[in-house]
Amino acid sequence: MMPDTFFFAAEVMVNGLMAGIMYSLVALGFVLIFKASGIFNYAQGVLALFAALTLVGLQDGQIPFSHVINAIFGTDLHHFGWTLPAIVAIALTALVMVGMAIVIERYILKHLVNQEPIILFMATIGLAYFLEGFGDVLWGSDIKKLDVGLPQGVSETIENVTYNWFGYGFFIDKLDIVAALVAAALVIALTLFSQYTKYGRALRAVADDHQAALSVGISLRFIWVLVWSIAGFVALVAGIMWGSKSGVQFSLSLIALKALPVLMLGGFTSIPGAIVGGLIIGMGEKLFEFAIGPMIGGATENWFAYVLALLFLVFRPQGLFGEKIIERV
């Protein structure tokens, strides 16, 4: 009995880590935008939803706005009648996200240079509302199946191997493994970008002081388009992963709430922090639910993630890897 519980706890832990990586994928988008502009981007979740909707729409050849067109003209349009290969659809969606970054910069951010963080935060809330409605009008609000050919389900190899080794077959979802690999690749690429390129430096400069960044000739507009495009791409990745899991529909935007504690624990400005935070939160909440949950009625994950983050923050108010908050007079 005892070793079995041990293995099971280990399995819960490993799966917690995997779940954490899924959260990190969303958190990464937040971090990028925060790093580059000090904006806490409330719309990140909706962005993921929008990206996934667009991906499915393009892939299945849905006619955009068909819903509205049909309502106005009484037509019955739905599909162009093609299906695109996943990779093409992903590339096209990435382009759409770049377009969106340009639009966001042009119509929102440009006018809000040098405002306080909370105002910018509020603007992203407006954006979230808008995109939520827009996504629905554009692609309809029914549930959609997203399939870009990612594997899903228990990985038999791991199950067998672990069974042979320990006498206990570990459950690991293949989708989670893919997510972990993608996340690792993203983190490495993004860290290199922000640490070793002049754009990376400019990005951090912008986050510190918009006006000073302007004064040295950093084009906020370019930086913002750049970073929102990247964040859009990250949102697309998150959308694909989560969408493969649960279909594409409104609730996808709510994953942002799962990313918040990750973000806070890891630090708003740290790309590796998003991953480490995710791992800690994922593991912590799953283990807690496993060990303590049954005693107090379960469904503890939501609040426990925040309490865990809170515990860490009490010791490091800027998050694990966040930049130290400079306090001087």
For residues 81 and 111, which CB has a smaller minimum distance to another protein in the complex?
A: 111
Report the residue from 142, 157, 160, 292 that binds another protein according to the rule CB under 8 A.
142
Q: Establish if 286 lies at the interface with another protein (CB under 8 A).
A: yes
**How are the residues of the chain apportioned to helix, strand and coil, as percentages rounded to the nearest 5?**
75, 0, 25
Q: Residue 134 CB, nearest distance to another protein (Å)?
A: 6
Burial class (CB in 10 A: 0-12, 13-18, 19+), 145: exposed
For residues 86 and 108, which CB has a smaller minimum distance to another protein in the complex?
A: 108
Q: Residue 69 CB, nearest distance to another protein (Å)?
A: 11
Report the residue from 92, 102, 108, 177 that binds another protein according to the rule CB under 8 A.
108
Q: Establish if 191 lies at the interface with another protein (CB under 8 A).
A: no
Distance of alpha carbon 253 from alpha carbon 26, whole angstroms: 10
- Tokens linked to 232: 């859009």
Paired strand residues for 154: 173
Are 150 and 244 contacting, i.e. CB atoms less than 8 angstroms apart?
yes
Stretch near another protein under the rule CB under 8 A, chosen from 51-59, 80-88, 270-278, 319-327: 319-327
Q: Name the packing angle between helices 271-291 and 255-266 (round to 10°).
A: 110
For residues 165 and 222, which CB has a smaller minimum distance to another protein in the complex?
A: 222
Q: Establish if 250 lies at the interface with another protein (CB under 8 A).
A: yes
Q: Establish if 220 lies at the interface with another protein (CB under 8 A).
A: yes
Distance of alpha carbon 288 from alpha carbon 304, whole angstroms: 8
Structure letter (DSSP) for residue 102:
H
Q: Establish if 291 lies at the interface with another protein (CB under 8 A).
A: no
In one-letter notation, the amino acid at residue 329 is: V
For residues 188 and 254, which CB has a smaller minimum distance to another protein in the complex?
A: 254
Other Cβ atoms closer than 10 A to 121:
15
Q: Establish if 132 lies at the interface with another protein (CB under 8 A).
A: yes
Half-sphere exposure of 89 (CA within 13 A, CB side): 24
Site for another protein in 109-128 (CB under 8 A): 111-119, 121-123, 125-128
Task: Provide the greatest CA pair distance for the chain.
Answer: 68
Site for another protein in 59-98 (CB under 8 A): 67-68, 70-71, 74, 76, 78
Residue count, binding to another protein (CB under 8 A): 121
Site for another protein in 153-182 (CB under 8 A): 153-154, 171, 173
Distance of alpha carbon 150 from alpha carbon 213, whole angstroms: 42
Structure letter (DSSP) for residue 146:
-
Q: With left for phi above 0 and alpha for psi between -120 and 50, is residue 114 left, alpha or beta?
A: left
Report the residue from 61, 64, 247, 272 that binds another protein according to the rule CB under 8 A.
247
Are 25 and 182 contacting, i.e. CB atoms less than 8 angstroms apart?
yes
Report the residue from 57, 239, 277, 319 that binds another protein according to the rule CB under 8 A.
319
Q: Residue 238 CB, nearest distance to another protein (Å)?
A: 12
Q: Establish if 219 lies at the interface with another protein (CB under 8 A).
A: yes
Q: Show the DSSP H helices in the chain as ranges.
A: 2-37, 44-59, 66-73, 86-107, 117-139, 156-166, 174-196, 198-208, 210-215, 220-246, 255-266, 271-291, 293-296, 301-315
Q: Establish if 307 lies at the interface with another protein (CB under 8 A).
A: yes
Q: Residue 248 CB, nearest distance to another protein (Å)?
A: 9
Report the residue from 129, 165, 166, 196 that binds another protein according to the rule CB under 8 A.
129
Q: Establish if 193 lies at the interface with another protein (CB under 8 A).
A: no
Binding mask 10-49 for another protein (x = CB under 8 A): -xx--xx-xx--x-----------------x---------
Structure letter (DSSP) for residue 170:
P
